[in-house]
A and B are shown apart, each in its own frame.
Chain A
C-alpha cells in the first residue's frame, strides 16, 4: 500500500513537471510566432520603402 502511494506521488510529481514543460513549449511557440510575425511585418515595411 505504501509503495502504491509512493508511486502515485511520483506520477503526480511527473505530471506536474510535464505541465510545466508543456507550458514552456507553448511559450516557446508563441515567442516564435511573435518573432516570425514581427520579422515579416518589418520586411514588408522595408520592402515598400
Chain B
C-alpha cells in the first residue's frame, strides 16, 4: 500500500511538472493585443489606504490623469493630511471612521463604490475602475496597453502584470519579483485564453458594469477579496484577462518573517474561497470550471509539497546515520531522479525570468530558478500558519508595513 502511495507522490511531481510545462508551452507564443487605443473609456482610480503616509503622496503624484477616489479606512497616521496636501481637483478623499473602518479591504472598496459619482453609474459600460494599492506605480504605457482589451464587451476585468519595484534590493525581493513574473507570464497568460485570469488587487482594472453585476457589495469580506471577485465575475458570465506587458510595481517585503505572514494571510483567504466551489460546480463548465476548481483546490497541493519536503529531510537524516539508507540512496540514479524531480522546473522558470526581466543572462536566471524552488518553501510555513489560524477562527491580520519611499521604482 505504501509503495502505491509513494508512486502517487512521484506521479504528483510529474503531473505538476507536466502542467507547468503545458502552461509554459501554451504561453510561449506571441501575445496578441487587441486593436484600438481604449480612448472611449473613462478611468477612475480607486486607492484604498490604511496608514499609508509613507507612500501615498508619491503614488498619487505618479497616477496618470483621471478621477481618483482615495478611501482612507480609518488611518491613525497622517495619511488623510498627506492626501489633502497633494490632492489635485480630481482627487477625492473618502474617510471611514470607526466602528465602520478597518473591517477589511473588501468592505472599504464596497463603501467607495457606493460613493461613486452618479454620472459615472449611468454609463457603467464605458467606465473602468482601476484599483491601485497605496504603494503601486503604473508603468507609463500600462493603461494604453490594457484598455483596448475592454473593446471586447465580454471582458469584465483586466489584471496587469505585477513587478516588485525594489527587486534589486535583496535576494528576497528578487524572488518575489520572480514569483509574480512566473505567475503572470506562464499561468495568467494561459488562463487569459480560457477567460478566467486571476485578479490580484493591485493594477486591477474592472468594468463598472461588471462590478455592478455582482450586486451591492461586489467585494467579499474575505482576506483575498480579489480572488473572490475574479471567480464571481467569471461565474457571472464575464471574461477576465491578464495583460503581462502592462505593468504595475509594488514594494517587495524585505524580511522573511513579514513575507511568511503575508503569505499566511493569502493562504487563509484561499481557504475562505473554498466556499465558492459549489457555485463553480453549479454555474461553470468545461475549461473554465476545471481552471477555477484547480485554483480553488490548490491549497491542498501545498500540503503535498509539505510532506515531500518532510520526506526529503528525513531521507537526509537517514543517509547520515543509516548504512542501509546510504546504500540505497547514494547512487547515481536516485540522486539524479531526486534532482530532476525537485529542480526540473528551474530549467523552465529561470530562463523565462531572465528573458522577461532583461537584466540578467540565462545562466544567472538558471541559478535564480534553483533558488526559486527553495524560496517556495515559504508557502509551507504560510500554509501551516494559515490553517492553524483558520482552525482557531482568527481572521484579523495586521496589514503589511510599507517601506519609506522612494521604493518602488518604475516597473
Contacts and interface: CB of A to CB of B under 8 A. Distances in A.
Contacts, number: 135
B384 to A, nearest CB: 14
Residue from A13, A19, A25 whose CB has the most chain B CB atoms within 10 Å: A19
Q: How large is the interface on A (under 10, 10 to 19, 20 to 34, 35 or more residues)?
A: 20 to 34
A33 B281 CA distance: 16
Contacts of B397: none
Interface string B269-303: 00000000100111011100110011001001101
Given A16-B322, A19-B318, A30-B11, A24 B290 contact: no
Nearest to A23: B311
Contact of B322 (A12, A31, A45, A48): A12
B373 interface: no
Given A23-B308, A45-B286, A29 B315 contact: no
Interface in A1-41: 8-9, 11-13, 15-16, 18-33, 36-37, 40-41
A23 B324 contact: no
Contacts of B321: 8-9, 11-13, 15
B9 A24 contact: yes
Contact of B8 (A8, A30, A36, A44): A30
Contact of A24 (B5, B300, B324): B5
Contacts of B4: 27
A29 B307 CA distance: 9
Nearest to A25: B307
Interface string B1-41: 11011111111100100000000000000000000000000
Nearest to B3: A24
B304 interface: yes
A15 to B, nearest CB: 4
B301, B310, B312: residue with the most chain A Cβ atoms closer than 10 Å? B310
Interface residues of B, number: 46
A38 B320 CA distance: 41
Contacts of A40: 277, 280-281, 289, 293, 297
A8 to B, nearest CB: 5
A23 B2 CA distance: 9
Grouping DSSP codes into helix (H, G, I), strand (E, B) and loop, the A interface class, with mixed when no group exceeds half, is helix
A16 B369 CA distance: 29
Nearest to B300: A33
B5 A44 contact: no
A26 B9 CA distance: 5
Contact of B308 (A8, A9, A12, A22): A22
Query: What is the interface of chain B mostly: helix, strand, loop, or mixed?
Result: helix
Contacts of A11: 317, 321-322
Contacts of B258: none
B318 A44 contact: no
Given A11-B321, A26-B9, A29-B303, A43 B281 contact: yes
B293 A15 contact: no
A26 B319 CA distance: 21
Nearest to B329: A16
A37 B301 CA distance: 12
Contacts of B322: 9, 11-13, 15-16
Given A19-B314, A21-B2, A27-B9, A44 B281 contact: yes
A37 B304 contact: no
Contacts of A26: 8-9, 12, 304-308, 311
Contacts of A37: 290, 293-294, 297
A15 B318 CA distance: 5
Interface string B177-192: 0000000000000000
B325 interface: yes
B26 to A, nearest CB: 19
Contacts of B324: 12-13, 16
Given A37-B297, A45-B289, A16 B314 contact: yes
21 contacts: A12-B317, A12-B321, A13-B324, A16-B315, A18-B318, A19-B310, A20-B2, A20-B6, A22-B310, A26-B307, A27-B9, A27-B12, A28-B8, A30-B15, A30-B304, A36-B300, A37-B290, A40-B277, A41-B290, A44-B280, A48-B285
